[in-house]
Amino acid sequence: MATLSIAALQSLNASQTGETWLAFVDLAHASFPATQRFVLNTVDVASGPNSNAYIALPMDIEIGSEGADAFRELRLVLGVVDQTLINHLENALRDNPVIVDIYYALGSDPTTIMAQNTGLELRSYTTNGITIEAVLAIPSWALELFPGIHMNKERIPGIFP
């Protein structure tokens, strides 16, 4: 992951900007013929993160529900999907979870990853035949607090009052 560029920081902090942000989603499982790649955009992106091609697809990515578990999961909604993807998910989830990686990049430079959520696990989903709604579990290591033996008043007194 790159440090945010000046253009990225300006677009995040601006009240209005001509810069767009793209969200790239990779769905991977051993049973898939290939990694399924989608981008939140109106047109396909021929060269996105890691120089892969991504298919444009309407989608929503949301932080989980409110409460204590709010940051333990993300909600992913993929719109206008075909039956092939639904069948892939159905077959894959019999064995292991589908691994989901989400990358964020500027529309002006889609090959440079500005932020990412990787190693998310898609364990279940619902579908109405047109959309797929899935809950993505955040890996347990990403939820661990800093161990007290590393960040404490005795070892690093300057950051504690």
In which domain, by residue range, is 136 found?
A: 21-140
Instruction: CATH number of the domain at 114, please.
Output: 2.30.110
Q: Sort residue 101 into left (φ over 0), alpha (ψ -120 to 50) or beta.
A: beta
Is 154 among the domain residues? no
- Tally of domains within the chain: 1
Query: CA 128, 129, 130: angle at the middle one, nearest 5?
Result: 95
Quote the tokens at residue 113. 């990853």
> Digits of tens for pLDDT over the chain (161 positions)?
456 778 777 887 877 888 888 999 999 999 999 999 999 999 999 888 888 999 999 999 887 666 655 567 888 999 989 899 999 999 998 888 999 999 999 888 898 888 888 899 998 899 998 999 998 988 766 656 655 555 666 666 666 56
Is 145 among the domain residues? no
Is 92 among the domain residues? yes
Is 129 among the domain residues? yes
Is 157 among the domain residues? no
Residue with tokens 């404490």: 152
Is 1 among the domain residues? no
Task: Determine the pLDDT at residue 30.
Answer: 93
Is 10 among the domain residues? no
Quote the tokens at residue 124. 């279940």
Residue type at position 70:
A
pTM of the model: 0.79
Task: Determine the pLDDT at residue 76.
Answer: 92
Task: Determine the pLDDT at residue 1.
Answer: 44
Task: Determine the pLDDT at residue 43.
Answer: 92
